[in-house]
Structure 1
Amino acid sequence: MNINKIDLNLLIYLDVLLRECNVTRSASKLNITQPAMSNGLKRLRDLLNDPLLVRTSEGMKPTEKALRLQPVVRKVLLELEEALQPEANFNERTSTRVFRIMASDYAASTVIPRLLNRLRENAPGITLDIMTPSDVTFHDVEAGRIDMAINRFEELPQSFHQKSIWLDDFVCMMSSDNPLRHNFNLESYLQSQHIWVSKTGFGVGVGMDPNDVQKLGWVDEALQSIDKTRSIRVFTRSYHTAMHLALEQDLIATLPRKVAMINRNNPDLAIIEPPFVIPKIELKMIWSSLLHHDASHIWFRRQVIELANELKKQI
């Protein structure tokens, strides 16, 4: 095939079609008509001698050849976009940009308040749009509809850029009036009633089963490794709710240290080291290759990392 026959528009069409797998949505993304998008797909099929997208019971799916072409086309377009990008500095003092962030409850409790304070001082016109994990998908991040996702991720698509924000360990929080605080060991921990807090990922969550240790997360997996289990009285998806419930004299919340330290000056709550080893968790931020070279996004990522470094020195 003669490469001279390929124009830039066709590469752009192919990139969007393989991301959306839908002609109508692709046309909308490119602000063209559906017939124009359909014609572009026909030209691509003729040019590459492959259907590229085939209809299945689950919608349009890319062919093997399309899957091989997708990262190559994306790389070419990104490099071209970077080369054509005008040299311009981002002025945070005058910017009115909206940054859309998917943040887990853990991230929203620890990172976002400090980030907002930093922006209030240095970039007063910038707005944050905070979304929960159930609001978005990996596809939203990949397409650049979400500027950043901040969470603990077990697996990530290779197309994402990522940066570790910090590692965090665990502490136990209980009422200052809880008699166990004066005789706190593994035996008394296991005899107590506990508050479970969700580890959140993408997608809408479902109800919890106290017997399904594999889905309970870090604390219960650590207990399982020493052949122990705890009695969970309350399941919650909110760290702030967990800390409030820890005021009850018969409940214990085991949660990441940086969350617990939000209440370190509350005389009604005691923060104690756990009586067993719990592996540390890693908080990451991820973003799309489409935003990687954007000047405003580079500045914003730097703000998150700088405040995270400041917090690591404080706690």
Structure 2
Amino acid sequence: MNLDKIDLNLLVYLDILLRERNVTRSASLLGITQPAMSNGLRRLRETFGDPLLVRTSEGMVPTERAQSLQPLLRQILASVEQVIEPTTEFDAKSSDRVFRIMTSDYGEATLLPRLLKRLNREAPDVVLDILTPSDMSFLEVEQGLVDLVINRFDTMPQSFHQKTLWKDSFSCLFAVDNPISHDYCLETYIRANHVWVSKTGMGAGMGITPEDTKRLGWVDEALDSIGYKRHISVFTRHYQSAALLASQRGLIATIPSRAAAIQSESPRLVVKKPPFDIPEFEFKMAWSPLLQHNAAHRWIRQVISDVASVS
């Protein structure tokens, strides 16, 4: 195969086709006619000697070859984008760019207030669109539809770029009139009623049950490793809701220490170190390789890194 015989525009066609899995939508996104896109797909099939996309009852489905090409294709296009990207720096002061950031309410409570303070000073017209983990999938992030995902993650696509913003430990929250405040130890912790908070990195955590220890997360896995199990009375997906519930007599919330510290001034709550060891977790920022070299994206990543480095 001679490179001089390949139309590199076809790689752009293929990237859109694999993402959209629909010829009509792909043509519309590229601003070309549907026959032109169909012709492009025909030429791609000839070039790669593979159908690439096969029509089924569920729509067009990529072949195994196409699936293996997709991450490589995105790397190639990202490299091309880097070559042709303007060398001018991002003008934050005059920009009204919208940055879409997926994070949990833990990230909203611990990172965003400081980030907004910095943006108000350096980029007053920049807009943040904050999405929750259940709003997006890794595929949509990989396609560059979201600028950043900031959360704790068990797994992440290898194609993603990532950076650890900080490490956090855990703290226990309970009401000042909770009986455990007079005898706080592992045994009384186990006998108490607890609020569980989702550790899910992306997508909604569905179908959690108290018996599902491996899916319950770091706190319950740490307890299980020493032969204990706590009684969970409430399941929630929000850290600040867990803190609010902990203010009720008889409930304990074990949440990340930075989130717990927000409640440290509350006269109704006690903040304590857990009576057993829980491994720290990493709070990470991740993004698509398609955005790696974008000037505006480089700027917001640096700002967030700077803000996160301040204890």
Aligned to 1:192: 192
Residue aligning to 2:162: 162
- Cα displacement (A) at 1:275: 0.5
Task: Please report how far the alpha carbon of residue 240 of structure 1 lies from its aligned counterpart in structure 2 after TM superposition.
Answer: 1.1
How big is the shift at 1:105? 2.3
Contact 1:178–1:249, Cα closer than 8 Å, also in 2: yes
**Structure 1 residue aligned with 2:174:** 174
How far, CA to CA, are the matches of 1:47 and 1:34 in structure 2?
20
- Which portions of structure 1, spanning 4 or more consecutive aligned residues, are displaced by more than 6 angstroms? none
What letter corresponds to residue 16 of structure 2 in structure 1? V
- Equivalent residue, structure 2, for 1:271: 271
> What TM-score comes out, normalization by structure 2 length?
0.94
Question: Which residue does the alignment assign to 1:12?
Answer: 12
Kindly report which structure 2 residues correspond to 1:1-315, keeping only aligned pairs within 5 A, or say none: 1-311=1-311
C-alpha separation in 2, matches of 1:72 and 1:247 = 51
Q: What is the CA–CA distance in structure 2 between the aligned matches of 1:42 and 1:223, rounded to whole Å?
A: 57
Task: Flag the 1:186–1:20 CA change in 2: closer, same or farther, 3 A.
Answer: same
Runs of 5+ unmatched residues, structure 1:
none
Tell me by how many angstroms 1:76 deviates: 2.8
Shift of 1:58: 4.5
Contact 1:104 1:200 survives alignment (8 Å): no
CA deviation after TM superposition for structure 1 residue 46, in Å? 2.1
Q: Deviations over 1:251-276 (max 9, x none)?
A: 11111000001111112211001101
Q: Secondary structure at the match of 1:252?
A: strand
Identity of aligned pairs, percent? 55
Distance of aligned partners of 1:179 and 1:143 in 2 relative to their CA distance in 1, 3 Å threshold: same
Q: Which runs of 5+ in 2 are unaligned?
A: none
Letter in 2 for 1:132: T
Contact kept, 8 Å, 2:166 with 2:308, in 1: the verdict is yes
Residue 305 of structure 1 and its aligned partner are, at CA, apart by 1.0
SS at match of 2:300: helix
Q: Distance in 1 between matches of 2:243 and 2:75?
A: 46
Deviation, structure 1 residue 149: 0.6
In the TM superposition, residue 200 of structure 1 has moved relative to its aligned partner by 2.3
Distance 2:133 2:290 in 1: 21
Letter in 1 for 2:77: L
The AA in structure 1 aligned to 2:112 is I
- What is the rounded CA distance, in whole Å, between the counterparts of 1:49 and 1:230 in structure 2? 57
Deviations along 1:207-259, one digit per CA (max 9) or x if unpaired, are 43112212211111111111111111111111111111111121111110000
Query: 1:57: how far off?
Result: 4.8
SS at match of 2:310: helix
Closer, same or farther in 2 for the Cα pair 1:54/1:233, shift >3 Å? same
SS of the equivalent of 1:14 reads helix
Contact kept in structure 1, 2:218 and 2:278, CA below 8 Å: yes
Aligned AA (1:169): S
Taking a change above 3 Å as real, the CA distance of residues 72 and 249 of structure 1, as seen in their structure-2 partners, is: closer
Equivalents in 1 of 2:293, 2:249: separation in Å?
52
**CA RMSD, 1 decimal:** 1.6
What is the total number of aligned residue pairs between the two structures?
311
Assess if the C-alpha contact under 8 Å between 2:179 and 2:250 holds in 1: no
**Cα 1:68–1:219 shift into 2, 3 Å:** closer
